[in-house]
Amino acid sequence: DWNEPLSATMLGTHLASSDGRHRAARELPLAHASWSGAAFIDFSREGFRKVTWANNTLLDWTYAAIALVVVWIVTRAIHAILASRLRASADKTATHVDDVVVDVIQSTAWYFHAALALLVARHFAELTPRAADISRYLIVIALAVQAGVWATTASGGAVKIWARKHAGGQGATMAAGIRFISRLVIWLIVGLFVLSNLGVEISAVIAGLGVGGIAAALAVQSILGDLFAGLSMYFDRPFD
C-alpha cells in the first residue's frame, strides 16, 4: 500500500520539524542572554559618557562620588594626624593654652568633614536648583554648628585656665556663670547666622526679641534690679 510509506515520510518530516523548533526555542534564550551580556559590556565601557541622569552623565556622577570619598578620607586623616601630634607636644609643656588648642581641634566632628567633602563634590556635577539649595543648606548648618562647637570649646578652655588661677568656691561659681553666658551668646549667634542663610529675615527676629526683652524687663524690673545689684557686689567684692 503506497499510503503507509507516505505516512511514514510525513511523520518523519513532522518530527524533524518539531525537533528543530524545540532546538531553536532552547537556543533562543541562550542567544538572548549572550546578546544581553555583550550589551552590558558595551554599556560599562561606553555608557559613562552616554547615560545621563539628573542633568549629569554617569561619568560626572562618578567623579563627584570619587571626590566625596577622597576629600572625606584625606580630611579625616589630616585631622587625626594633626590632633595626635599636637596632643603629644602639648603634654610636654607646662602651659595650658596649647591644651585648649588641642581640645578645639579634637572637637571637630564628622559632619565637618562631610560638609567639606560635599562642598568639593558638588562642583563636579550640575545640580538642580532644589538640590543645590538643599546641599548649600546642609553645608552651612554643618559648618555653623562646627564653628559653634569650636567656639564653646575654646571659651570653656579659657574659662578653665582662668578658674585655675582663681581657685576657690567663688572662682568656680564665677567660672560656671561665665561659661554659661558665653555658650548662650555663641549659640545665639550661630542660630541667627543659620537662619540668615536659610532665608529668614533675622532683622524681624532681632526686633521681636528686642521688643520681647523690653517687655520682660519692664515686667520683672525689680527682680532684675536686685539681680544686677547682687552681681555688682559679687564682682566688686567690697567687703574683701
Summarised one tens digit per residue, pLDDT across range 28-54 is 444 444 444 444 444 554 656 667 777
3-state secondary structure of 210: helix
**For 31-45, 139-153, 166-180, which range has the lowest pLDDT when averaged over its residues?**
31-45
* CA 224/CA 213 separation, integer angstroms: 12
Within the chain, strands assigned E span 52-53, 56-57
- The pLDDT of residue 220 is 62
When the pLDDT of each residue in the chain is averaged and rounded to a whole number, the result is: 76
CA atoms within 13 A on the CB side of 192: 14
Region for 54 from its dihedrals, namely left if φ exceeds 0, alpha if ψ lies in -120 to 50, beta otherwise: left
119 grid coordinates = 562642598
Percent of the chain's residues with pLDDT above 70: 61
Residue 177 has pLDDT above 70, yes or no: yes
With contact defined as beta carbons under 8 Å apart, do 181 and 188 qualify?
no
Predicted confidence at residue 120, as pLDDT, reads: 95
For the cut 60, the answer to whether the pLDDT of residue 144 exceeds it is: yes
Q: How far apart are the first and last CA of the chain?
A: 141
3-class DSSP assignment, residue 54: coil
Lowest mean pLDDT among 3-12, 80-89, 102-111, 191-200: 3-12
How many Cα atoms occupy the beta-carbon half-sphere of 227 within 13 Å? 6
CA 220, 226, 230, 233 dihedral sign is positive
Per-residue pLDDT tens over the stretch 107-125: 999 999 999 999 999 999 8
